[in-house]
Chain A
Amino acid sequence: MDLFKDYAEFKMDILKEIGNIGAGNAATALSCLLDKPIDMAVPKVQMLPFEAIAERVGGAEKIVLAIFFRVEGDAPGNLFFILSPEAAKKLLRRFAYLTVDDEEEFTEMEWSALSEIGNILAGSYLSSLADFTRLSLSPTVPALAIDMAGAILSYGLLQFGEMGDDALLIDTTFIEGQQEVEGQFFLIPDPESFDQIFTALGVPKNHD
């Protein structure tokens, strides 16, 4: 992408920091909810071919639970919180004291609790970014799905599809020690949003 013609490394570092701040705050929020320390991996920021994006969660056919938000405001994009169905059950058990059964199906109550957890996490992810960049960013209501990772994530790539076969994503994994509640945040800003983000953070414009 032309956007990364100049200061590429610097810009990548900035995006990585964005992932750090956003996911860091979400991890803190989750840690408060569960009253447990939550660890987090160093965010990865990469321009990846579409195929490789689903690989990040175990392959295009891997069944995942996704909570999806469209990010609206100054720098629109797509935000996914992805976890395995088993991890979601564990999260519910700890969070809502729901007597979660081990069946594969999710009840309406569990579904609704997951939306709420997603809301809290996405809200803290985005509000910290909004504070940091001084951009207005807000999530839509969450949409949930349990399906193949490829089918779910491809939805976040459509805007990039008009420009090429790669997309830039910021992804962060967090882990809760013994309970193995492992989740992954994917932030896929729309191609047009990078300019807004960099301008907001005072990165010099490309030399044309």
Chain B
Amino acid sequence: MIDQQRIIKVGMAELDVIEKEGLIRTTGLGSCVGVTLYDPHVKVGALAHVMLPSSEIAREGALNIAKYADTAVPAIYQKVISLGASPKRLVAKMAGGSQMFSFAGKGDALRIGPRNVESCKARLNELGVPIIGEDTGGNYGRTIEMDCETGILFIRSVQMGKKEL
């Protein structure tokens, strides 16, 4: 790997874009989902670290669109399009959405990981972006980074080691 490669870090409930080269990364995904969009032709991509499935439950003053699947996915879509990505070439990958702790017989709140995944998929479908790679579910955390040169999504976890999508 090249020294001093540019790395864009995306925190929890944040989103960002990347152009031309470098890596875009988010760490410690548990029930949160990391969604990436990428256009291989113009080498433009985006990553959102989604925390909750729907902004309908938001009670915050100014809505943080990066936090909710239903607002974050359209937001990164608009951003990559505005940077010259084509809707026809865009592809999506996603990782995360695990259930870190399992309790028997508890309600929907504990299924937040799978619900995050479902919600992200629904938004991507609405936008007509194909999901070409997915590593979701399980009961472990993940760190992901996308290489803007190739669109490859690297996934690391404590239990399952390294993976590429």
Interface residues of A (CB under 8 A from B): 50-51, 54, 59-61, 63, 68, 70, 140-141, 143, 145-152, 154-155, 157-158, 161-165
* Size class of the B contact interface (CB-based, 8 Å): 20 to 34
Output the least CB separation between B93 and chain A (Å).
18
User: B22-36 interface mask toward A, CB cutoff 8 Å, 1 = contact, 0 = none?
Assistant: 000001111110000
Closest to A69 in B: B101
Partner of B13, one of A152, A155, A165: A165
Cross-chain contact B12 with A147 (CB below 8 angstroms): no
Cross-chain contact A152 with B141 (CB below 8 angstroms): yes
Closest to B140 in A: A147
Q: How far is the CA of A11 from the CA of B60 in the complex (A)?
A: 22
Q: How far is the CA of A161 from the CA of B112 in the complex (A)?
A: 12
Closest to A49 in B: B11
Residues of B within 8 A of A70 (CB): 103
A151 and B13 in contact, given A143-B101, A161-B52, A162-B60 (Cβ under 8 angstroms): no
Q: How far is the CA of A188 from the CA of B155 in the complex (A)?
A: 29
Closest to B64 in A: A165
User: B63-82 interface mask toward A, CB cutoff 8 Å, 1 = contact, 0 = none?
Assistant: 01001000000000000000
Residues of B within 8 A of A68 (CB): 101
Cross-chain contact B60 with A61 (CB below 8 angstroms): no
Q: How far is the CA of A74 from the CA of B153 in the complex (A)?
A: 44
Closest to A159 in B: B109
Closest to B66 in A: A165
Partner of B27, one of A60, A155, A165: A60
A51 and B98 in contact, given A154-B32, A162-B52 (Cβ under 8 angstroms): no
Closest to B139 in A: A145
Partner of A158, one of B59, B61, B103, B112: B112
